[in-house]
Amino acid sequence: MAAEDLPSEFDVVILGTGLTESVAAAAFSRVGQRVLHVDRRSYYAGNWASFTFSGLLTWIQQHHEEPLPEEAQDWSSLLEEGEELIHLSHSDCASIRNLQVFCFTSEEDEEEEAPNTTEEETGGAAEDSECADSTEEETKETGEEEEEVREEEEVREEEQTTPSAALRQSEPTKKKISYAQLLKEGRRFNIDLVSKLMYSRGSLVDLLIKSNVSRYAEFKNVTRILTYRDRQVEQVPCSRADVFASRQLSVVEKRKLMRFLTSCVEETEEQRAYNGRPYLEFLRDRQLGDNLQHFLLHSIAMVTEDTPTEEGLASTRHFLRCLGRYGNTPFLFPVYGLGEIPQCFCRMCAVFGGIYCLRHSVDGVVVDRDSNRCKAVIDSRGQRITCSHFVVEEGYVAADRKRVATPTRFLSRAVLITDGSILPSDSDQQVSMVTVPPIAAGCPAVKMVELCSSTMTCMPGTYLVHLTCQSVGSAYEDLSPVVTRMFRTPESHDQETCPSVLWCLYFNMTDGSGLEAEGHNLPSNVYVCSGPDGDLGHELAIRQAESIFQKILPEEDFCPPAPNPEDIIYDGDNTSSSAGGEEEKEENDGVAEEEKQEEEKEMLEEEKEMLEEEKEMLEEEKEMLEEEKEVLEEQNLQTEE
């Protein structure tokens, strides 16, 4: 490409295109700062990225390669008197480790494999022998992994001795999707490196709406919340409607749950008495029974057994607040995956004049010794670029310069491509959040998200399943026991009814919440952004971006609404002339409009609350009627006898 030179002066240079950096970029550019936004990678969003299938395979390969020894370039000729250079890191490998890949499906379409065999029969031997090659090919990395493969082969051999070809019935079943098909349809996948959901009243959704960045993306509701309990996947009733419709709960349980949910909206003396004591204890003392206790602790509050009551209640309230804004659950998911979100903010930055350069890094920060401030950066092509502020993703900062929690915390991640939903229902297009409590003492609680193909993250006929937990061991150690139990893999036993894993990936990622907010050994106008954390929501990233913005521009509004395209009138030939003045007017319009819309929103919300109260009353009435009906039915039965 004809290498155009970058301008040599900016207000803010931002390195890394993760969520935090991208939000900051949009915010700065929006209020007129000149922003240069670069990333050494060839794709947007860093550890927040999503990939097509082949894109993910490339990413995996890159993280297996030994990082080239970093030889610091000598840029001393670009420095002036009284300046020194802080070198930045180029290697991408520190934050990702323990990658393991398994393919459990056949390499190619096997034509001779009769498509008319039942699930049970294909489940065992036939399939397993098919995938031997691909498994080996996929996992030729480290010695540790070879061991894994061997283990699998043993299992396979055992299974092969069981007589499986007994009865071949003519009942047609769908053929298992081959690895070749996954590759062929690979563009239909958008596989996220992080797995999060958007709380419908969380700070990310609020920011997307406030800034109008939301216009660049579309969303889907998470349609149901599931939990894994007693080796069973169950649906968690979470809205009032769900509670009333639930078939798992008795009438008594329904009433208890409703009463509990209503009572915890407000903070009470009774609750305060439990401050500091486990939420589990609080729940126990409410005598809700095992069912409800499980739902409330694991699926609604999504906390562990030793989380203190005030925290458990706060999570429960947040969950309840988010219900009913867009759908039946508190969560949203972006169509095409989470990797879209940073890109949307980058787009907003570009619209307001931000300049984007991928495959382009910053080699070093030029520091003025006297003031200990960053004056400029040297980019990877040796260009000196003056800037007033430098925002950088933590991955680029050498370990001895940043302050992080010790020992380093990691997240364990697994990504599965499966051939069926974990809880089949009328619709095959469900988006499910699944909570999996620790399967044994000392094991982590696992958050799982199952995505269907209409989220545009996987090919039709497959599901994309993301598992995440705080790591205790390696991702494989932490998550494979859950996978083996809940899905069919060559290692699992008697799981004929579970969906099969076609392909899966395990890896660990540094937990971004380990980065300290302050105390880095860096100039005061250099700001470090953390990578993804393990929380389900996006609070950390948004909070961090806003706080960086406010440190630099305390007087400015953070991401005010961009004008709507509909509001920009093209009056015939006078299109490009009055750009400057127009812009200001548009900005004001935007603010006024926002206020109006805020008001409208408040009114609507009040109205909604009233309606909800009304609905509650009606529902209570209905409940009573239902009880009456039950009694009558009982009487009926007795008279029949």
Partner 1 sequence: KSGRELGTFCFQDTGVGKSSIVCRFVQDHFDHNISPTIGASFLTKTVPCGHELHKFLIWDTAGQERFHSLAPMYYRGSAAAVIVYDITKLDSFQTLKKWVKELKEHGPEDIVVAIAGNKNDLGDIREVPMKEAKEFAESIAAIFIETSARNAVNVEELFQKISKQIPPLENPEVDSNDSFKLTRQPAPSARRCC
Ligand X SMILES: Cc1cc2nc3c(=O)[nH]c(=O)nc-3n(C[C@H](O)[C@H](O)[C@H](O)COP(=O)(O)OP(=O)(O)OC[C@H]3O[C@@H](n4cnc5c(N)ncnc54)[C@H](O)[C@@H]3O)c2cc1C
Q: Which residue of 13, 101, 125, 205 would you call a contact of partner 1, by CB under 8 A?
A: 205
Our finding on whether 105 is near partner 1 (CB under 8 A) is no
Check if the beta carbon of residue 193 is closer than 8 Å to that of residue 413. Answer: yes
514 contributes a contact to partner 1 by CB under 8 A: no
Which residue lies nearer to partner 1 by CB, 361 or 508?
361
Q: Which own/partner contact pairs does 155-161 have at CB distance under 8 Å and 24+ positions apart?
A: 155/128, 155/490, 155/491, 156/125, 156/128, 156/129, 156/132, 156/490, 159/124, 159/125, 159/128, 159/490, 160/125, 160/128, 160/129
In the complex, least distance from residue 290 CB atom to partner 1, rounded to whole angstroms = 26
Residue 335 interacting partner from partner 1, ligand X, none (CB closer than 5 to 8 Å by kind):
partner 1
C-alpha span between 19 and 16 (Å, rounded): 9
List the one residue from 519, 565, 572, 580 that touches ligand X (CB under 6 A): 565
| Three-state DSSP state, 81 | coil
Positions in 518-577 near partner 1 (CB under 8 A): 563-565, 568, 570, 572-573, 575-576
Residue 191 CA to residue 101 CA, distance in Å, equals: 14
Chain residues 226-245 in contact with partner 1, contact rule CB under 8 A = none
For position 424 contacting ligand X by CB under 6 A, the verdict is no
Relative to beta strand 232-235, strand 224-229 is antiparallel
Q: Which of positions 12-71 make contact with partner 1 (CB under 8 A)?
A: 44, 52
Beta strands in 104-208 (DSSP E): 191-192, 198-199
Pick from 18, 177, 26: nearest CA to 110: 177
Which of 310, 589 has the CB closer to ligand X?
Answer: 589
Site for partner 1 contains 421 (CB under 8 A) = no
Q: Is 586 an interacting residue with respect to partner 1 (CB under 8 A)?
A: yes
Peptide bond into 407 cis (omega under 30): yes
Q: Which is nearer to ligand X, 60 or 344 (CB)?
A: 344
Residues 6 or more apart whose CB falls under 8 angstroms from that of 368 comprise 82, 83, 374, 375
Query: Contacts with partner 1 in 450-489 (CB under 8 A)?
Result: 454
Shortest approach of ligand X to residue 354 CB, angstroms? Answer: 9
Q: Do residues 531 and 394 make contact, with C-beta atoms less than 8 angstroms apart?
A: yes
In the complex, least distance from residue 109 CB atom to partner 1, rounded to whole angstroms: 20
DSSP for 84-114, written as a single string: EEEE----S-TTEEEEEEEE-S-SS--TTS-
Q: Give the count of residues interacting with partner 1 (CB under 8 A).
A: 67
Closest among 137, 112, 197, 188 to 434, alpha carbons compared:
197
As a whole number of angstroms, the distance between CA 447 and CA 27 comes to 31
- Nearer of residues 68 and 579 to ligand X, judged by Cβ: 579
Among residues 207, 289, 215, which one has the least CA distance to residue 256?
A: 289
Residue 353 within binding range of ligand X, rule CB under 6 A: yes
Which residue in 428, 556, 557, 586 binds ligand X (CB under 6 A)?
586
Distance CA 416, CA 87 (A): 38
Among 351, 355, 423, 445, binds ligand X (CB under 6 A): 351
Residue 322 site contact among ligand X, partner 1, none (CB < 5 to 8 Å, cut-off depends on kind) = none
Which C-beta is closer to partner 1: that of 263 or that of 575?
A: 575
Distance CA 538, CA 536 (A): 7
583 binds ligand X (CB under 6 A): yes
**Binding to ligand X in span 492-551, by CB under 6 A:** none
Strands 384-393, 373-379: pairing kind: antiparallel
Q: Choose the one of partner 1, ligand X, none that binds residue 573, judging by a C-beta under 5 to 8 angstroms depending on kind.
A: partner 1
Tell me if 209 contacts ligand X by CB under 6 A: no
Of 173 and 221, CB closest to partner 1: 221
- Give the footprint of ligand X on this chain (CB under 6 A): 347, 351-353, 562-563, 565, 568, 583, 586
- Give the footprint of partner 1 on this chain (CB under 8 A): 1-2, 4, 6, 44, 52, 187, 205, 208-209, 214-221, 223, 324-328, 332, 335-336, 340, 343-344, 346-347, 350-351, 353, 355-360, 425-427, 429-430, 454, 563-565, 568, 570, 572-573, 575-576, 579-580, 582-583, 586, 597-598, 600-601, 604, 608
